[in-house]
Structures are given as structure tokens and as C-alpha cells.
């Protein structure tokens, strides 16, 4: 069985918000791949937006996007000399990772590895793969700051065709975890409530920050 490469676009609809938490990664990917770095790792915590940034990069350069274990289905003859985006990279088996890194290093191609931790921390039983993973340069996305988390909330509201009042998103920023999953869950809870989506409704769901919280 081979991976179907007919739908290779990782396209997305809304702009990626650049802020202090991700500026270094955005800048690095804007000028990558380059001749000196055929393999790069994009690392960040769950829900930080790393997969979204990687998808933007893949669309821009025409990379083949694959996820985790499905990388073993790639035909080396079809992807030789091409850019490859491997999300959930630690889920790929050792042999596949080894061959993909070698393929990128052989010239003309590129490999972007996306994960929550740097390749140097991944477990492997292959000594040759160990040395290759240890040598992979890494760029990091930090936990979403207010600007990025606000954009995540806005996107979730828009996806559900909800126009939140201007004071709701700043209020939510103080009360939810800083991840895309938390933003999605918060908007889903508000959407499930009867009536209009307001800050008063949000306060009934999420409660105040503390005894002195009157906002």
C-alpha cells in the first residue's frame, strides 16, 4: 500500500498571527529550506499552533504533508528531491525516519519534523538514527500569548458563525488554558448554552477568577 499524494495541499484559510511566542519560528520557516539545513524540527507544546504554522509552510513550498506512522507509506521514488512535512514525527518508525532524513540530506529535498519535543529527546534503537536526530536543528514555538490565543478564539467563534461581544475574548483570555484545544472547548461550551453568547453567559459557565472578581 502506498500513500496517495493526489491531495498534497495543507492549505488553510485564515492568516497566521505572529507574536512574541512564535516569531522566531515564523522567521526561520520563511527562509527555509536552505542549502545548509535540509532537515529542521519545529517544536512546541500541545495546542501552540505548530501544526498550523507547518501547514502554512507546506502550502508555500509545495511540501508533501504526512502524519506520524503514515510516513512509512511514502514511495521514496515519488518524494525524492521534494520537501516533506512530517507532523507527529516521533510516531513514525525508526527505519522510516532514518530513510527520510537520509533522503533529505541527499540533495534537493527538505524534511520538516513537527513534534512536542526536540529530536534529541526521542527514543530510538538505531545508533545511526540517534546521531542523525541529535544533529537536527530545532526551532521552538512557545505557549500561545494573548495575541495568538485571542486569534484562536476568534477563529473558533467565526467557524461557528458566532459574533462575540467585544469584551468577551479579553475576559476569556484570563480564564482558559493557553492552547488551541482550550480555545475550541471554551467556544463549544458557550455555543451549547441557550440564548446569546455574552460575557454574562460565560461567567455562568467559567465562574469568576476569585472572590474579588467583578468583571
pLDDT score for 202:
92
Mean pLDDT of 55-75: 95
187-211 burial: b if 16+ Cβ within 10 Å, else e: beebeeeeeebebebbeeebeeeee
Angle at 137 between CA 134 and CA 142, to 5 degrees: 110
Contacts of 176-179 with C-beta under 8 Å, sequence gap 24+, read: 176/149, 176/206, 177/47, 178/47, 178/143, 178/144, 178/145, 178/149, 179/45, 179/46, 179/47, 179/48, 179/143, 179/144
pLDDT, one tens digit per residue, over 110-163 is 999 999 999 999 999 999 999 999 999 999 999 999 999 999 999 999 999 999
Tell me the Ramachandran region of residue 2: left when phi exceeds 0, alpha when psi lies from -120 to 50, beta otherwise.
Answer: beta
pLDDT, one tens digit per residue, over 14-57 is 668 899 999 999 999 999 999 899 999 999 999 999 999 999 99
Give 114's strand partners: 42
pLDDT score for 8:
44
pLDDT, one tens digit per residue, over 84-117 is 999 999 999 999 999 999 999 987 899 999 999 9
Does position 5 have pLDDT exceeding 70, yes or no? no
In this prediction the pTM is 0.83
Mean pLDDT of 165-170: 94
Q: Grid coordinates in use for 38? A: 535540509
pLDDT score for 82:
94
Does position 176 have pLDDT exceeding 60, yes or no? yes
pLDDT band at 76 (very low <50, low <70, confident <90, very high): confident
Does position 174 have pLDDT exceeding 60, yes or no? yes
Residue 161 DSSP one-character state: T
Mean pLDDT of 169-183: 93
The residue behind cell 492552547 is 179
The residue behind cell 472578581 is 213
Amino acid at each position: 500500500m502506498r500513500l496517495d499524494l493526489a491531495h498534497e495541499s495543507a492549505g488553510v484559510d485564515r492568516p497566521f498571527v505572529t507574536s512574541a511566542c512564535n516569531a522566531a519560528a515564523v522567521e526561520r520557516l520563511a527562509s527555509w529550506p536552505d542549502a545548509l539545513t535540509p532537515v529542521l524540527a519545529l517544536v512546541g507544546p500541545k495546542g501552540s499552533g505548530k501544526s498550523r504554522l507547518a501547514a502554512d509552510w507546506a502550502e508555500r513550498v509545495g511540501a508533501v504533508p504526512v502524519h506520524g506512522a503514515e510516513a512509512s507509506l511514502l514511495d521514496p521514488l515519488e518524494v525524492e528531491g521534494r520537501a516533506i512535512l512530517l507532523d507527529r514525527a516521533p510516531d513514525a518508525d525508526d527505519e522510516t525516519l532514518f530513510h527520510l532524513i537520509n533522503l533529505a540530506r541527499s540533495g534537493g529535498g527538505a524534511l520538516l519534523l513537527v513534534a512536542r519535543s526536540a529530536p534529541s529527546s526521542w527514543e530510538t534503537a538505531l545508533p545511526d538514527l540517534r546521531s542523525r536526530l541529535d544533529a537536527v536543528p530545532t526551532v521552538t514555538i512557545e505557549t500561545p500569548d494573548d495575541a495568538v490565543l485571542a486569534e484562536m478564539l476568534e477563529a473558533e467563534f467565526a467557524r461557528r458563525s458566532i459574533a462575540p461581544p467585544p469584551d468577551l475574548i479579553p475576559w476569556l483570555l484570563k480564564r482558559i488554558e493557553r492552547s488551541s484545544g482550550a480555545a475550541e472547548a471554551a467556544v463549544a461550551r458557550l455555543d451549547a448554552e441557550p440564548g446569546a453568547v455574552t460575557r454574562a453567559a460565560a461567567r455562568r459557565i467559567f465562574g469568576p477568577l476569585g472572590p474579588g472578581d467583578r468583571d
